[in-house]
Amino acid sequence: ARGTGEPPGIGRVGQGFLDALAPRLGERTIDTFAVDYPASFDFLTAAEGADEAAAQIVAVASRCQKTKLVLGGYSQGAALVDMLANVAPLGGTIGEIGSAPALAVPFADKITAAAVFGNPAARFGTPLSTTGLFAGRAIDLCNANDPICSPTGLNPAAHDGYESPPQNEEAAGFVAGLLG
């Protein structure tokens, strides 16, 4: 799921992650699904994306039971993945933001791996890597000084560059390891 303000599609971080992952998977077939949601500065609309992503996961997992599913998201797209994992993307004290229903457990168990970049939940002490339905199957990458994902981050420019090494390569290595 793309980040705030990015045009429809998988986003630049999603593309960088896919480009780093594909060579690690040999002859396997990769397909992507770009979550269709506003990705606007109205953060409440991320719940719409979580609902759409959940519907797509259920459809694919039901139709293609041997398919391994990987989720990815950058910034607001990471918050969308948090919602699927039953993690409040902006902490438990910020109203109803992130109240989209989590992915139902039988389908959450179909998620092999998740990679999120610049995840707002990490700022509030609930990184996807250790919290929620995908804990242990997720990597949560945050640049030093990124104010979106780091509680001490003060540099807005640090919220950039996740589509490039080393972040995209680290995520690809983690995910490839789980895909086996």
Say which residues have a Cβ less than 8 Å from residue 155's Cβ, sequence separation at least 6: 145, 146, 147
Res 89: pLDDT: 84
User: Choosing from 31, 159, 160, 164, which is the catalytic residue?
Assistant: 159
Measured CA to CA, the distance from residue 81 to residue 97 in angstroms comes to 13
Res 94: pLDDT: 54
Active site residue 40: no
User: Choosing from 36, 75, 99, 150, which is the catalytic residue?
Assistant: 75
Angle at 111 between CA 169 and CA 149, to 5 degrees: 50
The parts of the chain modelled with pLDDT lower than 50 are none
Distance of CA 6 to the CA centre of its chain: 15
Structure token pair of residue 49: 């994306």
Active site residue 140: no
Gap between the terminal Cα atoms of the chain: 23
User: Choosing from 82, 129, 146, 150, which is the catalytic residue?
Assistant: 146
Measured CA to CA, the distance from residue 35 to residue 145 in angstroms comes to 28
Structure token pair of residue 120: 């707002």
Indicate the DSSP class of residue 102: P
Active site residue 75: yes
Identify whether the C-beta of residue 75 lies closer than 8 Å to the C-beta of residue 12. Answer: no
Structure token pair of residue 98: 């992130």
Angle at 143 between CA 140 and CA 147, to 5 degrees: 100
Measured CA to CA, the distance from residue 89 to residue 28 in angstroms comes to 32
Q: According to DSSP H, which parts of 31-142 are helical?
A: 46-63, 76-84, 105-108, 120-123
